[in-house]
Chain A
Amino acid sequence: DQQVKQNSPSLSVQEGRISILNCDYTNSMFDYFLWYKKYPAEGPTFLISISSIKDKNEDGRFTVFLNKSAKHLSLHIVPSQPGDSAVYFCAATINTDKLIFGTGTRLQVFP
């Protein structure tokens, strides 16, 4: 029972362009969503989050959009840089309890 889904296992984007990573969830009780970035041989690092009372949160080149009616969120990276190449995990939680992670999307940014 995969409550958080990332249906694209990989994404390839040219440097300078926009990267859009998608995430869908099934549990309408989730009230807080997070994106983590993971480099090889390292643990995931927190990137950006959004509360269910908002529909957008922005931090520099990173913006997360939340569509509650569609149970969908997306991470936009503009402009994409080679250093953004990593695996991105979407995660969700209820009342800041345990995180439920998606399966991840591998982003490759090429010159």
Chain B
Amino acid sequence: EAGVAQSPRYKIIEKRQSVAFWCNPISGHATLYWYQQILGQGPKLLIQFQNNGVVDDSQLPKDRFSAERLKGVDSTLKIQPAKLEDSAVYLCASEDRGLSEQYFGPGTRLTVT
């Protein structure tokens, strides 16, 4: 069984630029999550999708962050414009229905200079 795929693995941009991350979850997993992990902290949920609908985006900074999962499969997370404090690892995870065990991708390390 293929795991959660993410790209790119690393990205360096200047502040005020835009960036997009891509995630392909495990086949058949209805729930998809995006997390932000700042150095020295645990992952923090940004947004949760159930199929192609948003379940929870209460911690997503909507003035600059957006995410979509149009066909209920893969997803993109965008930051526009980026700030220095957005430097972090962005993790995507997927979950089979209601089992709580989330499977994480390798993450995208974003550096904003």
Contacts and interface: CB of A to CB of B under 8 A. Distances in A.
A49 B100 CA distance: 9
Contacts of B4: 43
A45 B40 contact: no
Interface residues of A, number: 24
Contact-residue size bin, chain B (C-beta under 8 Å from the other chain): 20 to 34
Given A89-B43, A101-B43, A103-B42, A42 B100 contact: no
Main secondary structure on chain B at its contact with chain A? loop
B103 interface: yes
Given A98-B45, A101-B42, A101-B44, A43 B93 contact: yes
Contacts, number: 51
Nearest to B33: A98
Nearest to B10: A41
16 contacts: A4-B42, A34-B100, A34-B101, A41-B106, A43-B93, A43-B104, A44-B104, A89-B42, A89-B43, A98-B56, A99-B45, A99-B100, A101-B42, A101-B44, A102-B42, A103-B42
Interface of A: 4, 6, 9, 32, 34, 36, 41-46, 49, 89, 91, 93, 96-99, 101-104
